[in-house]
Amino acid sequence: MTRPPALTDELLDRLRARVTASGQRSYAPVDVFTGGELATLPESTVDDVDAAVSTAAAAQQSWAKLDVAERLAVFDRFHTLLLDHREQIMDLVQAETGKARRDAFEEFCEPALVTAYYLRKASKLLRDKKKAGVLPFAVGATERRVPKGVVGIISPWNYPFALALGDLIPALIAGNAVVLKPDSQTALSPLYGAELLAQAGLPANLLQVVLGDGPTIGGAVVDASDYVGFTGSTRTGTEIAKRAGARLIGCSLELGGKNPLIVLDDADVPAAARIAARGCFANAGQLCLAIERIYVHDAIVDGFAAALVAEAEKLRLAAGYDYAADLGSLTSARAIETVSAHVDDARAKGATVLTGGHARPDLGPYFYTPTVLTDVTPEMLCHRAETFGPVVSLYSFGTDDDAVEQANDTGYGLNAGVIGRNVARATALARRLRAGTVNVNDTFASAFASTDAPMGGMGASGLGRRHGAEGLLRYTESQTVATQRVSIAAPAWLPHAGYTKVMATSLRLLRRARIR
Ligand code: NAD
C-alpha cells in the first residue's frame, strides 16, 4: 500500500507550515493501513500555544467588527472548495485513520452540511434582538451576541476532519478566533481544512493549529482560551471541565457513549438487521454514536440474531483508497488492544461469540472482524464500558417498559435507536430514552445529519450541544443593552410609600396587559 495520491511532498510542506511550532521537535503519525510512517509533523510547546492564542486574539479584533454577511462570504467560498477537494480530503482522512472510503465520505459531509446550515441561519441567529424593557416605552432593551474571543477546539482521532472543522466553523462565523488542537495521529486532514479556509479568504492568523501531547498542549489551550469546544473521552472531558471551571470559562463537552438500539416485535427483521449492522460497524465501530447494545423483543430475537450475523459476515474488510471495502481498519494499536481485551474478557466470562471476535493481521496491523456477542453479563467489561470498536452485545426484552429500563441502564446518554413498523409506537418509546439524540428506524445518521437540530449528550456523555442554534450561540456571550428613555425612578416629590403603591398597581396592570 502506497501513500494516498493527495499526500504529495509539496502539500506536506504546506501543511507543516500551518502548525504553530517554534522548535525543532517533530513526530511521525502512523500510516494506519501499513503501520509505517505517514509523515513527520512539527510539535508545539506550551509557549507556542500562548503565542498562538495571542496572535489569534489580535486577529480576532478586526474579524469581530465585520458584518456577519462579510464573514459568511468566506464560508460561501469555503463550501465550494470543500466540495471541489473532497477526494483529497478523503485520501488524508483514510491515511491517518485507516477507515473505509465510504466512512471517509460520510465524514467529509459533516463540515459541508454545517457550513451550508450556518450560511443560511447565522445572520438571523447573531443579529441584535429587541426585547421588552421593564416598562413599555420607558425602557428599551436589546439582546446582543458577542463573540467569546479565542475559542480552543480540542478534537479526537476518530473523525478528525468532521469534528475539528464542524466545530470550528461556527466558532469563526460567530466572530471568534480559533486555536485548534487536533489529535496528533490525525492532524493532516484538519490542517488541510485550515489550508482550504485560507484559500477561501479567512484572514491570516485567525485560525491557529497547535500539535502535541494531549495533557500538555491540550491543557495549555484550555488555560489560555476564552472558551473550549472539546470532543473526546469522558475521562478527558472531566479534566477539561475542572480546568475550565477553575478559570470560569465555558466549555462544551462531546463525550463517549454506550448507545442502545431497541428492536420492537413488529420490526421487519431483515431490514432491522441491515440498519443495525451499519449502526454497529460504521467506521469500524469507532464512532461515538455507534450502537454497542441491542435489545430485541423475545419473539424475534433468534431470527434477528441470525440476520445480524449474516449482515456482519457480508461486510468486506480491506485496506484501500477505493470503495471496495465496507469496513476499514481500527486506527491504532491502543484501539485494537481495547477491542481485543473487551472480547477476550467477555469470552472468558462465558459470553458467546456469534461471529467475529478476532483480529485480521493479514489485512493490516489494526483490522478486527465485526463481532456479535450474546450471553453478556454485568461483570463483563463490554457490558457497560465503551468498547469503541466493531463489537455489539445482543440482549432480549419482554415488554416495552423492560426495553426502556435496560436501554437507560447506563451512565452515558449520547445516542439511541428504536426500530419498529408502527412509527407512532416506536417514536413514543424513543421519547422515553435518556439520550441526546434518538433515531427512529435508524441508528445515528438521521439525527446527526439533521444539522438544524442540536446534537450532544446527557449524563456522562457531555455538556452542551453542537448543531442548530445552540451549536453557534455557545461561542457567544449574550449582552443586554437597556436604554432608559423615561425615568422609572421615584420622583423627588413622591414619598417612597406612595411610589411602591404606584409600582404595585403598575405590576398588576402589566400582568393583565401581557405586554411584557
Ligand atoms: P481523548 O479524550 O483521549 O482525546 C481527545 C483529544 O483530547 C485529543 O486531541 C487529545 O490529545 C486531547 N487530550 C487528551 N488529554 C487531554 C487533557 N488532559 N487536556 C486537554 N486535552 C487532552 O479521546 P479519544 O480517545 O481521542 O477519542 C475517543 C473518545 O471520544 C471516545 O470516548 C468517543 O466516544 C468520544 N467521541 C465523542 C464524540 C461526540 O460527539 N460526543 C465524537 C467523537 C468521539
pLDDT tens readout for residues 248-286? 999 999 999 999 999 999 999 999 999 999 999 999 999
Question: Tell me: the pLDDT tens digits for 158-209?
Answer: 999 999 999 999 999 999 999 999 999 999 999 999 999 999 999 999 999 9
Q: Which atom of ligand 1 is nearest to the CA of 236?
A: 2
Rounded to 5 degrees, φ, ψ at 85 are: -110, 25
Atom of ligand 1 nearest to the CA of 235: 2
Residue 254 CB less than 6 A away from ligand 1: yes
The answer to whether the CB of 454 is under 6 A from ligand 1 is: no
SS3 19: strand
**CA–CA separation, 367 and 335 (whole Å):** 10
Whose CA is closest to atom 14 on ligand 1?
214
Q: Identify the band that residue 135 occupies on the pLDDT scale cut at 50, 70 and 90.
A: confident
Question: pLDDT digit string (tens) for 326-362?
Answer: 999 999 999 999 999 999 999 999 999 999 999 999 9
Torsion angle, alpha carbons of 346, 351, 356, 358, to 10: 40
Which cell numbers hold the place of 56?
Answer: 489569534
The answer to whether the CB of 158 is under 6 A from ligand 1 is yes
Q: What would you report as the CA-atom Rg of the chain, rounded to the nearest whole angstrom?
A: 26
- Residue of the nearest CA to atom 18 in ligand 1? 215
The stretches of 66-159 forming alpha helices (DSSP H) are 68-84, 86-97, 101-126
Distance CA 274, CA 262 (A): 14
What secondary structure letter does DSSP report for 463?
Answer: E
Mean pLDDT of 89-108: 98
Residues acting as catalytic residues: 254, 288
Q: What is the pLDDT of residue 1?
A: 59
Helix-helix angle 188-199:160-173, to 10 degrees: 40
Protein residue whose Cα sits closest to atom 39 of ligand 1: 254
Report whether 393 contacts 383 (CB < 8 A): yes
Residues 18-55 pLDDT 10s = 999 998 899 999 999 999 999 999 999 999 999 999 99
pLDDT of 506 above 90:
no
- The answer, yes or no, to whether any atom of ligand 1 lies below 6 A from the CB of 385, is no
Pocket probe for ligand 1: among 155, 185, 233, the residue whose CB has the most ligand atoms within 8 Å is 233
Q: What is the pLDDT of residue 43?
A: 98
53 lines ligand 1 (CB under 6 A): no
At 288, list the grid cell.
461515538
User: What is the per-residue pLDDT across 57-83, written as a single tens digit (0 to 9) for each?
Assistant: 999 999 999 999 999 999 999 999 999
The pLDDT assigned to 511 comes to 82
pLDDT over 90 (residue 137) = no
CA 155 to ligand 1 centroid distance, Å = 6
**Closest residue to atom 10 of ligand 1, CA basis:** 214
Could you tell me what percent of the chain has a pLDDT over 70? 99
pLDDT for the residue 6: 87
Q: 514 pLDDT exceeds 80?
A: no
pLDDT at residue 4, as a whole number: 86
Please answer whether residues 159 and 282 qualify as being in contact, where contact means their C-beta atoms are separated by less than 8 angstroms.
no
Predicted model pTM: 0.97
Does residue 463 carry a pLDDT above 60?
yes
Instruction: Over range 311-319, report the average pLDDT.
Output: 98
Q: Is the CB of 231 under 6 A from ligand 1?
A: yes
Residue 322 CA to residue 298 CA, distance in Å, equals 40
Q: Whose CA is nearest to atom 26 of ligand 1?
A: 156
256 CB under 6 A from ligand 1? yes
Mutational pocket test of ligand 1: of 154, 221, 234, the residue with most ligand atoms within 8 Å of the beta carbon? 154
What was the pLDDT predicted at 512?
A: 83
**Choice from 158, 240, 337, 455 to test ligand 1 binding pocket (greatest atom count within 8 A of CB):** 158
Residue nearest to atom 20 of ligand 1 (CA): 218
Q: At 147, list the grid cell.
A: 463573540
- Judged against a pLDDT cut of 70, whether residue 513 lies above it is answered with yes
Side chain identity, residue 68: V
The Å distance, Cα 292 to ligand 1 centre, comes to 19
Spacing, Cα 223 to ligand 1 middle (Å): 17
Residues 6+ apart with CB under 8 A from 242: none
The predicted structure's pLDDT at residue 515: 59
Evaluate: CB of 459 within 6 angstroms of ligand 1. Answer: no
Q: What is the DSSP letter of 491?
A: P
Mean pLDDT of 218-245: 98
Best of 167, 168, 183 to mutate for ligand 1, by most ligand atoms within 8 A of CB?
183
Neighbours of 483 (CB within 10 A): 10
Chain segment 356-380, per-residue pLDDT in tens: 999 999 999 999 999 999 999 999 9
Confidence grade of residue 509 (pLDDT, cut at 50, 70, 90): confident
Contacts of 196 (CB under 8 A, 6+ apart): 78, 81, 82, 85
386 lines ligand 1 (CB under 6 A): yes
Residue 445, pLDDT above cutoff 80: yes
DSSP letter for each residue of 239-292: HHHHHHHHTT-EEEEE----EEEEE-TTS-HHHHHHHHHHHHHGGGG--TT-EE
d(CA 474, CA 496): 43
